[in-house]
Amino acid sequence: MTNSVEIKNLDLQFGAVKVLQDLNLDIGKGEFLVLLGSSGCGKSTLLNCIAGLLDVSGGQIHINGTNVTWAEPSERGIGMVFQSYALYPQMTVEGNLSFGLKNAKLPKSEIESRVKRASEILQIEPLLKRKPAALSGGQRQRVAIGRALVRDVDVFLFDEPLSNLDAKLRADLRVEIKRLHHSLQNTMIYVTHDQIEAMTLADRIAIMRGGQIMQLGSPDEIYGRPVNKYVADFIGSPSMNFLEGKIKDGAFHVGDLAIPLADYAFADGAPNNLDATIGIRPEHVVTGELVGNAAYQVDVEVSLIEPTGSDTLVDCTVAGNHFRVRMDGQSRVSVGQKLRIGINPSMASLFDLKSELRL
């Protein structure tokens, strides 16, 4: 049994609205899977189904080889961490951690040792006697993670656990969750709309849209070989540049430009005479001395500069389309300056204009 969680043909509908449609997903033991998507894509709904907090309309859910489709949340062998922490306000931290164990009628010594172990791992021992109101946001989320930890389960479910924290804390806790995963080797399913969280944490990412999984793959695959235009646009910040044109005679024609596609790895051979979109990430555009090595070069005029410190984002126009280039933060450019940029089609993505699928 290598799969920890298996989801088979899962359907969920509220009245006439289909929230999840024929969804299949296998999650390996010890895998960190991130469900990523914009709001309303069904990612949290899927997580709630796995947790048993929502009744499914069709299909099955297996956890650790057991069919848990109809099981109560507490019987599924899962622990869950919520966005709003959801700590019980009238109980101390200790009470929060032990609530589930008391419900399970575990012996007192066992409860104590589990609470102790979890609070050691998360470094919240000094807080055990406090009420949630007396904790900071980061501490509260640690306690919430601890509440999942004491349950001693194989599968952890995270529902946007870092969304309520400020940027710095978010980065810290992100690292901590990753470290926790390394040391515990649990299966973790993590819902987020933050692609940085997804890219940094995940073994595999499932990009969701409209209740379906668009693409399931490693962060590298998702970033480098997006299966359709939606995924390509969704992943990456700043987002990908898209130019609409035509593939003809081994080159991509847009306006007066013809970008040679000899280096591009087509999935099913190069089409001819096909309307298509080329997607080029701002960070894959080369400038400066490296331009000479690029497969295709074009001169542009700088229209806007956004310095971010480490990088400088440069806006320009390519064949009448708005185009962004990411340059080194040290590079000196000014508005109105002429710039030679280089494009490597091997790093780009081509999509059918109609179906928006990767070519």
Helix axes 108-121, 93-103, angle to 10 degrees: 130
Q: Which of 11, 18, 99, 260 binds other proteins (CB under 8 A)?
A: 99
- Strand pairing category for 32-36 and 187-192: parallel
50: amino acid identity, one letter: I
Retrieve residue 287's tokens.
Answer: 């400038």
Retrieve residue 239's tokens.
Answer: 């987002």
- Minimum separation from the CB atom of position 171 to other proteins (A): 18
Nearer to other proteins, 101 or 276 (CB): 101
**13 near other proteins, judged by CB under 8 A:** no
- Rounded (to 5) percent helix, strand, coil in the chain: 30, 35, 35
> In whole angstroms, what is the distance from residue 82 CA to residue 313 CA?
36
> Across the strands, what pairs with 66?
63
**71 near other proteins, judged by CB under 8 A:** no
Q: Which stretch binds other proteins (CB under 8 A): 32-40, 134-142, 169-177, 328-336?
A: 134-142
**89 near other proteins, judged by CB under 8 A:** yes
Q: Which stretch binds other proteins (CB under 8 A): 71-79, 214-222, 249-257, 278-286?
A: 71-79
Query: What is residue 239's DSSP assignment?
Result: P
Nearer to other proteins, 147 or 324 (CB): 147
Whether residue 153 contacts residue 78, with contact meaning beta carbons closer than 8 Å, is answered with yes
Q: Which of 83, 200, 321, 331 binds other proteins (CB under 8 A)?
A: 83
Site for other proteins in 136-155 (CB under 8 A): 137, 140, 147, 151
Q: Which of 134, 175, 290, 304 binds other proteins (CB under 8 A)?
A: 134
Give the number of residues in contact with other proteins, rule: CB under 8 A. Answer: 34
Whether residue 57 contacts residue 37, with contact meaning beta carbons closer than 8 Å, is answered with no
**Where does this chain bind other proteins (CB under 8 A)?**
48, 51-53, 72-74, 78-80, 82-90, 99-100, 103-104, 131-135, 137, 140, 147, 151, 159, 164
